[in-house]
Structure 1
Amino acid sequence: MINSTVIIKTKRLILREVKKSDLNDLFNDMNNIKISSFMLGIPFPFKKSDANQWINHCIKSSKKVPREEYVFAITVRNEDKLIGEVILNENDFDNKSVELAFWLSESQWNKGIVTEAVESVMDFAFNKLKINRLEMAAFVENVGSNAIAKKLGFKYEGRKREASIPESTKKVHDDNLYSMLRREYRK
């Protein structure tokens, strides 16, 4: 893992470390049921103290050596406003297997932003971190996330039944499981 601050720039976006000034944007987005209903581990209602706790976790995690996760704040170029996150969680260091997750502000949906952000993080994961496997899960009902996985070339691995219960809805969801291997990347 790379242990320094990482900034990724794309045509429209800057992906940077999460910072204290992201608190209000994070607070507002996590209280949007259309976002939180597809996320795990998010208290609902989401309090400012929850936002502060997450930001502190991200800052602390970014200073850990070796790093075990990267939380990239998605921002639009020339606007330093948090509009989403892409997260890499290392879940099997020995096999270089990393979990990928993301969320995006509702006002930014259907603009190709998550696709652009995730593509850039995939490049970072495979080419800089030299990981072997990226994996992700999406609730079966999450049409957008499932479409992104397919569009980016992730392979469908199967369905994990009744695997997820978001705090915001308490509804039980099946997860679609996807992965991409280093040798499959950019083929």
Structure 2
Amino acid sequence: MKIDILFSESPVFETERLILRKLSMNDLDDYYEFASDPIVSVSTLWNKHETIEDTKDYLQKVMDKYDSKQAFRWGIIYKPSNKLIGRTGLMNWDVMHSRAEIGFALASQYWNKDIISEATKEVVSYGFEKLELNRIEGRCNYKNAGSARVMEKLGMKLEGILREQLKIKGTFMDQRLYSILKSDFVGKFNEGSSIG
């Protein structure tokens, strides 16, 4: 696993509708706009951002994790409006076992438009082709059908249910665990797909 490449390149991806680039403090206002929507965080460990300071604190943590090479989050820019509408990224990696986890969030008005799938395909492709990952995992709240659908569109397979794995908003919640292996990726995406 070549994680140093990620931080030396800080890759930017462009798709038909999106530009993905490293999150920065310049994203403060746009990030606050979607992170302060209570619908966006209802199935997540994080709470909606009540103030712009909450967003500033979050983005500082993103910068700190970038500096310490613990996680990389791309801002998702919607090209028609040139506006940041979400994020996707890689985190929780295990260099010894060439494994990482994906995570994403998106402004609610852009749900059900295949935007997260379009963005995160680029991250998955980069993870396998450049970082030499062998396995990428993803988890979501058992009741979060939208996130589950995204992972299935990415070719990830449901491995099982992690019973009451996380305490979300005061309640222990089951999580769905998905994964895609490099061998799955080669078979699924290298046969005429536009991924990459």
Same fold flag (TM > 0.5) = yes
Q: Is the 8 A contact 2:77 2:83 kept in 1?
A: yes
Higher relative contact order (CA 8 A, sep 6+): 1
Show the 5 A alignment for 1:1-150. Answer: 1=3, 2=5, 3-4=7-8, 5-40=10-45, 42-44=46-48, 46-64=50-68, 67-77=69-79, 79-150=81-152
* Aligned equivalents of 1:95, 1:63: Cα separation in 2: 22
**For structure 1, which runs of at least 5 residues remain unmatched after alignment?**
none
Q: 1:89 is aligned with what amino acid?
A: M
RMSD: 1.7
Give the alignment's TM-score, normalised by structure 2.
0.85
After the TM superposition, which of the residue ranges 25-34 and 175-184 deviates more from structure 2? 25-34
* Aligned equivalents of 1:175, 1:184: Cα separation in 2: 22
Q: Is the 8 A contact 2:17 2:80 kept in 1?
A: no
Q: Is the 8 A contact 1:158 1:178 kept in 2?
A: yes
Q: Is the 8 A contact 2:37 2:48 kept in 1?
A: no
Q: CA deviation at 1:149?
A: 1.3
**For structure 2, which runs of at least 5 residues remain unmatched after alignment?**
188-196
Q: CA deviation at 1:68?
A: 2.6
Q: What SS does structure 2 have at the residue aligned with 1:82?
A: strand
Tell me the percent identity: 29
Q: CA deviation at 1:44?
A: 4.4
Give the alignment's TM-score, normalised by structure 1.
0.89
